[in-house]
């Protein structure tokens, strides 16, 4: 089982890295773009070691993360829009580099990297705290409400981490145009959260009480 899971994870990891590289370097027209290489390293090196950790510590969670097919039509549309946004932002960054439209200074790249790495660590902590995490909106058998740690601060810390990750990536690439495109993630994630909470309220015992205990969905003290 673990050998098959490792091979499955390795294939998806390799395809993902190749696809991101294609989205960046093909529009850029060159491989000589250090900011793109930096982003790929920041994105996939921690991902590789996180995958190895999950393979050993929680293979069921890794399997759920790799084999997730969204069933709800509303969430399928959210995924489509997020995918379009992601592709558009990366292609725009490559074109921006190629034609020199609006190139942000190098210090912005380092600020972006300084935001990206702690955000990745935040994402990893969410995975550690919640063994029921899935890429789909669903209530799993035996699932319980998690209300400690990061879940005692906001109800959706994984989405908070993803917002920070998505907004820091165009900064690493030095592309203001891509940053503006990534801002579309806010209405997308709000839509996903609202639908997810409807599902959890209906199917997860104690979630209504949890909402009262932790009032903020995504941003502490704001929303």
Residue 27's pLDDT band, with cuts at 50, 70 and 90, is very high
Sequence-ordered alpha helix ranges (H) in 58-184: 59-66, 73-99, 106-129, 157-173, 176-182
Domain 2-213 of CATH type 3.40.720.10: no
Which of 134, 132, 153 lies closest to 143, judged by CA?
Answer: 132
Provide the residue ranges of all domains of the chain, joining segments of one domain with +: 2-213
Q: Is 29 helix (H, G, I), strand (E, B) or coil?
A: coil
pLDDT digits (tens, 9 = 90+) for 105-155: 999 999 999 999 999 999 888 888 877 665 555 565 667 888 889 999 999
Report how far apart, in Å, the C-alpha atoms of 128 and of each of 26, 84, 124 are: 36, 29, 6
Q: What is the pLDDT of residue 1?
A: 53
DSSP assigned state of 189: H
């Amino acid at each position: 089982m673990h050998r098959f899971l490792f091979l499955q994870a390795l294939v998806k990891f390799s395809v993902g890295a190749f696809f991101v590289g294609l989205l960046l370097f093909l529009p850029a027209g060159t491989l000589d773009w250090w900011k793109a290489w930096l982003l790929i390293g920041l994105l996939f090196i921690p991902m590789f070691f996180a995958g190895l950790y999950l393979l050993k510590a929680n293979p069921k969670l890794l399997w759920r993360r790799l084999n997730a097919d969204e069933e709800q039509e509303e969430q399928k549309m959210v995924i489509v829009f997020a995918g379009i946004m992601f592709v558009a932002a990366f292609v725009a960054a490559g074109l921006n580099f190629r034609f020199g439209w609006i190139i942000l200074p190098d210090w912005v790249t380092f600020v972006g990297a300084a935001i990206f790495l702690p955000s990745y660590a935040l994402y990893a902590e969410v995975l550690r705290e919640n063994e029921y995490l899935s890429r789909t909106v669903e209530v799993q058998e035996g699932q319980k409400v998690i209300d400690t740690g990061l879940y005692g601060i906001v109800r959706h810390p994984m989405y908070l981490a993803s917002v920070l990750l998505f907004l820091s990536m165009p900064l690493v690439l030095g592309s203001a145009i891509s940053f503006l495109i990534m801002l579309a993630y806010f209405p997308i994630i709000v839509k996903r959260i609202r639908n997810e909470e409807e599902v959890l309220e209906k199917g997860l015992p104690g979630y209504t009480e949890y909402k009262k205990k932790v009032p903020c969905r995504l941003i502490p003290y704001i929303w």
